[in-house]
Structure 1
Amino acid sequence: MRIIILLFLWTNGIFAQVRSVEGKVIAASDQSALIGATIISSVDTVITNIEGRFTIACENSPTRISVQYVGFASEDIEINKTDTFITVVLKTSNNILETAVISASMVEQNIAESTVSLEVLKPSIIENSNSQSLDQALNLLPGVEIIDGQASIRGGSGYSYGAGSRVLLLIDNIPALQPDAGFPNWNDIALENVAQVEVVKGAASALYGSSALNGVINVRYAMPGSEPETNFSINTTYYANPSDLRTKWWDSAPYAIGTHFLHKRKMGKFDLVAGVQYYQLESFRAETYQRRGRITVSNRYRINERSTLGLNVVGNLSDNASFIFWENGVRGAYQPFAGTEVVSFNNRWIFDPHYTYFDQKGNKHRLQGRLYYTDNGASNGLDNFSLLNYGEYQFQTAFPSLKLKLTTGISGTVTNIIAGLYGGARYRSNNAGTYLQIDKEIGERWRLSLGGRYEYNSLRNSEILIEDGDFREQVDAAQTQEGKPVFRFGANYQMAKATYIRSSIGQGYRFPTIAEKFTTVGLANFRIFTNEDLQSETGWSAEIGLKQGVRMGGNGAFFDLAIFWSEYLNMMEFLLTAKSGVFGFQSSNIGDTRIRGVDLNFAGVLGSQRFPVNFLMGYTFLDPRYKEFDDRTRASSSVDYNILKYRSQHTAKADIQVSGYGAFVGGNFRFVSHMVAIDEEFNLFIPGLKNFREANDSGYYLLNFRTGYQWKNYKLSFIIGNVLNASYAVRPALLEAPRNFSLRMDGSF
């Protein structure tokens, strides 16, 4: 009995030394609450809730706690015996290696600790380059190419006519490719409210499902800070004469104008973001124009300290005219090949409801969805209507004692499509997936990532249209069903304070889109042919990389080297072909391919605090080949040796800006080597293409310049695009813009 009493008194003494302290963690920049910040005392570890608040047990004496949040500088706070509530203010880290990213593993982490190659595009670069849509800004990133609206990462994609992306576009972690074509509508992205864009290089199907075979582009929007904010921009662009005056077709110079207005504010527990944007282009390409407007509304309501409810809305209306190929390579280089003109009227709406709940154990539950309405009216009967319903439940938990985080979830998509573009048939596609992701720390230096996903796809049509030359036949309804598992593994080892080595391997999988299988388009002498026998493609991507941090004064940068190897089985690509004297594209399985290469990047801020130098530069080398270069493949290529079509083996990019005393000067440079191999039919059927390619067989150089001045919250920029007035084509038979001059004003209040 005496022993029991002594133990009782001893344990009471222990507990008497512990007390609770409440607090809140906020960001220094805008006083906004930081959700999920970690607070550590000598006896307890907790995270902040939705309002940034926490309650932690600590010693009943003067002691210290550590407050940590990804992307922010950590703080050690002294707690006095009389403190019952504290407010912790964290400053954004100026160490570029501590940039917070989420796309690599679905959990926030420092970019240096990622197990895969990942690039971050900041809003300042988008603004400085006067980008009018996200694809224009993405072209500035090393290793990323946008070819006719389709993204290709490290040569993973060639030329795809408006369908079948291997790079998955996400908006706040929700898939955002057009339902029928698997095509990214870049104009749906509200650039004026982008917090950052994260680009994962390599297969990501294990996390995000089909269409992430080659990588992921995740657009993360910003939410209001503690103070209301309104920002706006006005810009205009004037296009000068091309270097070859024979290609000039206009009397009055082509031009573009654009503007946006965005307001963000908190109202009690309610957060609101609302904006409008308008852009008009009277193009340098004849009979081509864009007139588009977009509205954006984001709402979030903090129900209590554990849960939030929100709805994001994007509406996009546009009137566009374009053409597919030029008339010829000289006088008609900016004019349409007869019969390839397309006029379209687009009406797209996105509704994204979401609900987040943190339970009493700190586990995160998230329900999110998307209703994606698309109504594209077009000339020549190329209309299409689709309605997509997407839903996902995600669960995240942490085991601090094991240094382990677990993310799992299920998702489902149902799409209904009616389109003249696909022979007037009705289509219904279904997608379901379940995934599991584990992130584990071992000691202070090792970080491991393991994930897997099972993906199920089905496609049913009420009737399909089979074509054989001019013969068209409708057959009975058919259904395709398929399911596949995919896995990924990655490791990151911190060798030194700012030196990280990573390696990863991930499987990929992509189910063919409705557009790839069933598009039936007739444009005079040009057609897109159906291919109901098209099969899904699979593959894997592996890399080993080194990231090294560099310090200079109060600034920092990083150097990144990655060696990568990707293989695709049953790869799908559009091939130019001819049937009964009519030429056009058909999506086909071209066989197995292998793409190897090297990716070098150097990015950050150097120089002094008074004269900072912001830069982003890189070089990518590709070795893209068919695993079997047989007679069939050789016959369709414009060269007689083994190289994949529509790839440039060498690309070099750089964006540099020097600032000081409110003024800035900068620019960006891009070199893209010659696209060696294309479809041989291109050379045969498109007037002037072969001569143009032979005259420009060294690739192209593109130089843009900018300067301006910022006074308080207002900035005036002057930009010269294509300074050298280069005559170049990103893909065959479509000439890009000549030298142009832009004036832009940005402001906030």
Structure 2
Amino acid sequence: MKWFRWIGIIFLFGCSSIFAGNGNETENKTIGVISGRVTEENSGAPLAYANVAVAGTILGAVSDAEGFFKIIKVPQGIYTIVATYIGYEKKALDNVKVKTGETTHIEVRLAVSEITSEEIVVSATRKETTANLAPASVGVITAEEMQKKNISTFDQAIESAPSVQLTRSSGSNVQAVSIRGSSEVAGAGVGNRVLLLIDGRPALSPESGGALWNLVPTNSIERIEVVKGAYSSLYGSSAMGGVINVITKNPSPVAVTRIHTEDGFYEKAPGWTGYDAYNAFNTIEVAHSRRVGNLSYLIEAGHRHNDGHRQNTEFDMINLYGKTAYHFANNKNLQLAMNYNHVANDYPATWLSFLQPYHVAPAKLDNRQKRSEFSTDLYYYSIPTSELKYSSRFYYYTNNSEYTFWKDSSRMGNERIRQTSINNHRIGNVTQFDYYMSERHYMISGMEMQLDFVDARPANTLYGKHTAYNVAAYSQDEIKLSDRLTTTFGLRYDYNKIVDGYGEGNFSPKVSTVYEIQKDWSVRALVAQAFRNPSIAERYIKYEQGGNLHFHQNPNLKSEKLYASFEVGTKFKITDFTSYDISLFWNEYKNMIAYIADTAVAYQGYYKVVNLNRARMRGVEASIHVFYKQYLNASAGYTLLDARDISKDAGTRDVGYTSGNHDLPYKAKHSFNFNIDAGYEPVSLNLNGRYNSAIREVSIYPGSEPDAFFVLNGKLSVEFVPKCSVYIAVQNITNTQYEEIERYRMPGRSYMIGWSIQF
């Protein structure tokens, strides 16, 4: 079996380098301990959750609620200790001596910083690095930023990130998430080319290759990392356009309880629409965390109800999340996390007409869907020496979707089947070794395995029962060629197999370089290849109810290829209070999956799913960040995207052919976003907005292309007492009437009032 041999070669190559330098038994006999406390320089107050690291090693610790920390298994020697904390200046303590069998005590005093600290990211390299030195464009959205913006659902959290474009049919249905134009919309979320990770594990649905984006619980998020570009070399299939990694919160070392409630309503639709319903919504979230001895835990629960802003958009959502961690001695840690999400909602439908965008056809009014998902993962990591880290994550994911059509038989529509259901299960493991070979050489090597089970009923209409597996190995070598120049080489091999069906292997190489011209100015370059395996739905779909479309199955559908991806960029500061990020990208795709009419039986509504299209997506991305102490934090981003169909027969099947329009469907050429946080205790104000230019090409309803739109949101908060605040917020302040996908009107102006408390 050739695929097994390739996986073994890559994995063993990485591991051999790791274990080759891990045979020094003397080191275990010549170790000591570094302990101390992190405090604020002026007040002397302890700083909890500060990061303390031993430079030149993989060792480190996080301070507890009283600021104390302990780093064990430190080899005898002289070190530099580096401490970082958000909002404070980084501190380095030189010449810290460690002696065998002894504890070295240090005091770390951090000064408040007038400028924003460097963001630390893990998704771009599968290890911690500063965003300034990441080999790709990386955006970070923190829990604090989400709170200031009044984020309710996950799609709202990522919609303002530069180069991220969402297409939604309702508040509970995300059709597609695209980075730099990568994803399709016509498949209603099937075959997404952006990979969703939760704490580093894949969170895509096995049958569709898409994600239930709106079900990600926002209350449990610590931060979101948006990595743009081809990243199959680390993460495998679907990481063609980029990776969105959700980093969840860890349990608190002290008892903490948080409560948040919100109520709101939509302004009535314009009178000319004929829709005059009053629709409201509400949210309640509760969380509790604490530590008892070596065991810590976090429990969160949330409920959202929304009447919907137009017909067939009502939903009711429940989120439950829990995480527990046990801290062993000797740099070992075990974590168990569980998440359950459920949403019951109206099945979204297109508008009744251009003059009635808030109404749907009467036959669609009682169509419903229920979706639920459950995931759990067990994560273990160990740092046996100052150079080696081992981690392994076992995970299980399942989701269930039920669709009911024309429940009222008097409203029977064009759907020929009354009820369908899809059940998915996925089990997997990701195991990784990190080896800090020297201050100039860092290597990781890992293996990933997945097993998927899909059961879509009725089998003669949907996909039936299928089993698939994917096995992969990857290795990455980061070499610091000089104090300023770092080069990274990465390679991954995946083998994907439908049991009793088609199998295919894919190599994903990557080479990147980062050159630090000076402390606050770096340039980067990335060259890579990526791929996406076809989903079960794309291979075996037989009938699509919404459009009454029939499909000829294509079990031998091949993977899509991003065969050439290039990016060059730079990050720099002109002053201490401004930072800039500019990048140019060029992506060449082939074997892109397309839905085409079967000319032999086209009059009967038959279609085929084939590897057909070639595409080119290129553009420029620029962002600016302005900050001043705790009073102002502002950012803005702009993306210019040129997304073209460059297939041999490009344009012959689209509406723009006669005018030479070869634009790919649903791609906005210009997009802009901004965010402003301003505050002077106890008052804070947020303004944020986004602009998308008009869509020139669609594939579902030609002639109904969405126009350009600009949406502005605002929130005013007052913290009357510490950790207790009230707020008012307005979404879509200008009451813009717009669509992200044709014939699905998005919400107009809405008003919210809420409060939160922590004790």
Whether these two folds match at TM > 0.5 is yes
State the 1:586 CA deviation: 6.4
Q: Which of residues 25, 46, 53 is equivalent to 1:37? A: 53
Q: Partner residue of 2:427?
A: 389
Please give the alpha-carbon distance, in whole angstroms, between the structure 2 residues aligned to 1:640 and 1:338. Answer: 38
1:172–1:79 distance in 2 versus 1, CA, 3 Å = closer
Q: Which of residues 78, 81, 85 is equivalent to 1:66? A: 81
Q: 8 Å contact 1:161–1:574 — kept in the other structure?
A: no
Q: Partner residue of 1:3?
A: none
Please give the alpha-carbon distance, in whole angstroms, between the structure 2 residues aligned to 1:362 and 1:27. Answer: 28
State the 1:650 CA deviation: 0.4
The answer to whether the aligner puts 1:439 opposite 2:461 as a matched pair is no
Deviations 1:353-402 (A, max 9, x none): 1111121354111110211121222213321011110112111110125x
Please give the alpha-carbon distance, in whole angstroms, between the structure 2 residues aligned to 1:216 and 1:200. Answer: 5
Q: Which amino acid aligns with 1:47?
A: L
Classify the secondary structure of the residue corresponding to 1:192: helix
Q: Which amino acid aligns with 1:249?
A: Y
Q: 8 Å contact 1:673–1:700 — kept in the other structure?
A: yes
Bigger shift: residues 378-387 or 26-35 = 26-35
Bigger shift: residues 409-418 or 299-308 = 299-308
In the TM superposition, 1:586-601 aligns within 5 A as: 587-601=609-623
Q: 8 Å contact 1:49–1:305 — kept in the other structure?
A: no
May I ask how many residue pairs the two structures share in their alignment?
688
Q: 8 Å contact 1:194–1:220 — kept in the other structure?
A: yes
Bigger shift: residues 588-597 or 524-533 = 524-533
Q: Partner residue of 2:227?
A: 200
1:675–1:583 distance in 2 versus 1, CA, 3 Å = farther
The answer to whether the aligner puts 1:538 opposite 2:561 as a matched pair is yes
The answer to whether the aligner puts 1:514 opposite 2:523 as a matched pair is no
Please give the alpha-carbon distance, in whole angstroms, between the structure 2 residues aligned to 1:25 and 1:407. Answer: 31
The answer to whether the aligner puts 1:136 opposite 2:173 as a matched pair is no
Q: 8 Å contact 1:33–1:52 — kept in the other structure?
A: no
> Could you list the runs of 5+ residues in structure 2 that have no partner in the other structure?
1-29, 63-68, 169-173, 405-417
Classify the secondary structure of the residue corresponding to 2:501: strand
Q: Partner residue of 1:415?
A: 452
In the TM superposition, 1:10-49 aligns within 5 A as: 22-24=34-36, 37-39=53-55, 47-48=59-60
Classify the secondary structure of the residue corresponding to 2:736: coil
Please give the alpha-carbon distance, in whole angstroms, between the structure 1 residues aligned to 2:527 and 2:667. Answer: 23
Q: TM-score, normalised by structure 2?
A: 0.84
Q: Partner residue of 2:313?
A: 288
The answer to whether the aligner puts 1:189 opposite 2:225 as a matched pair is no
The answer to whether the aligner puts 1:748 opposite 2:755 as a matched pair is no
In the TM superposition, 1:603-622 aligns within 5 A as: 603-606=625-628, 609=629, 612-622=631-641
Deviations 1:573-601 (A, max 9, x none): 55699976676986543411111100011
Q: Which of residues 592, 601, 604 is equivalent to 1:571? A: 592
Please give the alpha-carbon distance, in whole angstroms, between the structure 2 residues aligned to 1:584 and 1:25. Answer: 69
State the 1:275 CA deviation: 0.6
The answer to whether the aligner puts 1:255 opposite 2:244 as a matched pair is no
1:593–1:732 distance in 2 versus 1, CA, 3 Å = same
Q: Which amino acid aligns with 1:199?
A: V
Q: Which of residues 298, 322, 334 is equivalent to 2:323? A: 298
Deviations 1:204-234 (A, max 9, x none): 0010000111100000112134322221211
Q: Partner residue of 1:687?
A: none
The answer to whether the aligner puts 1:85 opposite 2:104 as a matched pair is yes
Classify the secondary structure of the residue corresponding to 2:502: strand
Please give the alpha-carbon distance, in whole angstroms, between the structure 2 residues aligned to 1:585 and 1:336. Answer: 25
Please give the alpha-carbon distance, in whole angstroms, between the structure 2 residues aligned to 1:352 and 1:194. Answer: 16
Q: Which amino acid aligns with 1:627?
A: I
Q: 8 Å contact 2:39–2:47 — kept in the other structure?
A: yes
State the 1:266 CA deviation: 1.5
The answer to whether the aligner puts 1:702 opposite 2:711 as a matched pair is yes
1:571–1:27 distance in 2 versus 1, CA, 3 Å = farther
In the TM superposition, 1:122-161 aligns within 5 A as: 122-148=142-168, 149=174, 150-159=176-185, 160-161=187-188
1:66–1:632 distance in 2 versus 1, CA, 3 Å = closer
Q: Which amino acid aligns with 1:428?
A: T
Q: 8 Å contact 1:634–1:641 — kept in the other structure?
A: no
In the TM superposition, 1:205-604 aligns within 5 A as: 205-243=232-270, 245-251=271-277, 253-336=278-361, 338=363, 342-379=367-404, 380-401=418-439, 403-420=440-457, 423=462, 425-460=464-499, 479-523=501-545, 526-527=548-549, 529=551, 531-532=553-554, 534-539=557-562, 540-552=564-576, 556-573=577-594, 587-604=609-626
Q: 8 Å contact 2:463–2:542 — kept in the other structure?
A: no
Bigger shift: residues 497-506 or 327-336 = 327-336
Q: 8 Å contact 1:542–1:566 — kept in the other structure?
A: yes
State the 1:505 CA deviation: 1.2
Q: Partner residue of 1:671?
A: 691
Classify the secondary structure of the residue corresponding to 1:104: coil
Please give the alpha-carbon distance, in whole angstroms, between the structure 2 residues aligned to 1:345 and 1:215. Answer: 29
Q: Which of residues 737, 740, 759 is equivalent to 1:730? A: 740
Q: 8 Å contact 1:34–1:48 — kept in the other structure?
A: no
Please give the alpha-carbon distance, in whole angstroms, between the structure 1 residues aligned to 2:262 and 2:115. Answer: 33
Q: Which amino acid aligns with 1:156?
A: S
Please give the alpha-carbon distance, in whole angstroms, between the structure 2 residues aligned to 1:94 and 1:268. Answer: 37
State the 1:524 CA deviation: 6.6
Bigger shift: residues 665-674 or 204-213 = 665-674
1:181–1:601 distance in 2 versus 1, CA, 3 Å = same
Please give the alpha-carbon distance, in whole angstroms, between the structure 1 residues aligned to 2:214 and 2:528. Answer: 30
1:637–1:574 distance in 2 versus 1, CA, 3 Å = farther
Q: 8 Å contact 1:421–1:519 — kept in the other structure?
A: no
1:107–1:120 distance in 2 versus 1, CA, 3 Å = same
State the 1:242 CA deviation: 2.5
Classify the secondary structure of the residue corresponding to 1:479: coil
State the 1:105 CA deviation: 0.5
Q: Which amino acid aligns with 2:665?
A: K
Please give the alpha-carbon distance, in whole angstroms, between the structure 2 residues aligned to 1:567 and 1:734. Answer: 31
> Could you list the runs of 5+ residues in structure 1 that have no partner in the other structure?
1-17, 461-477, 684-689
State the 1:731 CA deviation: 1.0
Q: Which amino acid aligns with 2:591?
A: N
Please give the alpha-carbon distance, in whole angstroms, between the structure 2 residues aligned to 1:49 and 1:708. Answer: 35
State the 1:34 CA deviation: 6.4
Q: 8 Å contact 1:241–1:248 — kept in the other structure?
A: no
Q: Partner residue of 1:7?
A: none
Q: 8 Å contact 1:289–1:321 — kept in the other structure?
A: yes
Q: Which amino acid aligns with 2:739?
A: A
1:346–1:525 distance in 2 versus 1, CA, 3 Å = closer
Q: Which amino acid aligns with 1:67?
A: V
Q: 8 Å contact 1:203–1:506 — kept in the other structure?
A: yes
Please give the alpha-carbon distance, in whole angstroms, between the structure 1 residues aligned to 2:587 and 2:365. Answer: 35
Identity %: 22
Bigger shift: residues 618-627 or 543-552 = 543-552
Q: 8 Å contact 2:454–2:465 — kept in the other structure?
A: yes
Q: CA RMSD in A?
A: 3.0
1:31–1:637 distance in 2 versus 1, CA, 3 Å = same
Q: TM-score, normalised by structure 1?
A: 0.85
Classify the secondary structure of the residue corresponding to 2:735: coil
State the 1:285 CA deviation: 2.1
Q: Which amino acid aligns with 1:677?
A: E
Please give the alpha-carbon distance, in whole angstroms, between the structure 2 residues aligned to 1:599 and 1:587. Answer: 33
The answer to whether the aligner puts 1:647 opposite 2:667 as a matched pair is yes
Please give the alpha-carbon distance, in whole angstroms, between the structure 1 residues aligned to 2:598 and 2:419. Answer: 22
1:414–1:81 distance in 2 versus 1, CA, 3 Å = closer
Classify the secondary structure of the residue corresponding to 2:156: helix
Q: 8 Å contact 1:25–1:37 — kept in the other structure?
A: no
